[in-house]
Structure 1
């Protein structure tokens, strides 16, 4: 075999190895059987690249073969990821292909969340894509609201300090210092008052003890009186008193109805009229005896007859001598 033929054979082998290595690095193995391909659309692939692994339930079943932009005018900016599966496992079109992080420095990969309900997916179908939040995204999503709140707090604190500086001018600070000194004086006065009060309590402690002892004695006596009242027949006394009150009420009711002597005296005014008339006649009699005593005690040697009763003169308090 000539040198030229050997050189040509070696060159062909080198070119073939180069082509195979290039495709292998792209995730395509020319020596393997034909693979099934599927397409997934994403808004953001988050660093996913060609040759990234594709797994189902943790088992690697394929690789990412192509990543291109969607050429459709209504879907500009979206990315279409083409995956090649070497495994013949079947799953439905409802399955989800999720981008997940394999680690801090491991990059991104695809995981098929298989669904076995509905129509079986065949090569060339589009599957639904999702993005799983990694630790950094989760931390960022958690810290972003906290960051916004901290920024608002810092801004509000800065505004508060500015307003406080405006309020606490030189005169206000001096006034505030005077207030603090006055407060210290007040506290000192309160302490003195409390000390005086303690001394007064100490000095009157013996008298207070006597007072408490007297109070205790009074309480004991009151307890004895209470026991006496409890043990006495209070119910019988109250019952007797109630009967007495009922009798008095009956007596008063009879008087109001004119029963008995007192009732007749209270309800009938004839006795009052008779007494009034008798009193009036007695008054006239006494006045007549005073004005004309000779009519009642008469001694006459010559037989002179006393003058009779004159109602007019009696009324006018005049004697009958005239």
Structure 2
């Protein structure tokens, strides 16, 4: 059988409404699919919330369903559900207690030893755990004391703050605000001046930045060239050359080779010194007696001869 689109749409709407109702009641603590029995009790004040636990010997067997304040009696009427598998006497007591330090208040079923079983809708008597009311009262008392102390501190703080605001001396808030305002004005003027300088030198700053960029690029190229030039190998070669030079200088220092003998041989030095002296004497003699060394004649006349002392030697031929 083919189902039409209208029927499908109706089913989807009905399912949506059911899910909405179920979810809304579930969030309120009511599960419409459960068949738990509902019971009632009342207290002089409300210390519960919806969905608070209902326990038997510490084990959860139900939860609070609704809380209503009865204006006529001045009491808080509480309805709660219990698993229908739990059987207990209608003379049992519903105790309001606190399970733990960080837990919310809960209800506990204190069984009565008889066979008069409670039925759905029965009203059960209640009690409050001993000390719970005192704790609540003490908490409110402590809260009141702390609040009073806090208000006194706040009043003192406001008085001191008011005195600080109205103080017109050098240490007062007014004077401090005035100085701060003056400082801000000076800083504002300084900012304007800096902006003016920057605006006037905009082109120069741009040129400086361009130059800095160019220098950075040149340094990058130089670094690349040095890297490609294998500077470490050049340094190694230079170290080898310096080692050879040191070895050569050591051999010269030891008098080895021609240069070493030239520097270390005293006889060679003396001979060179004597030769230099004779050269000097020869040059001196050439200055004093140039005719001994230079002979010039236009008619082919035989030049005169001189002895070692500079005397003319007569020619007998």
When normalised by structure 2's length, the TM-score is 0.39
When normalised by structure 1's length, the TM-score is 0.38
Which of structures 1 and 2 has the bigger CA Rg?
Answer: 1
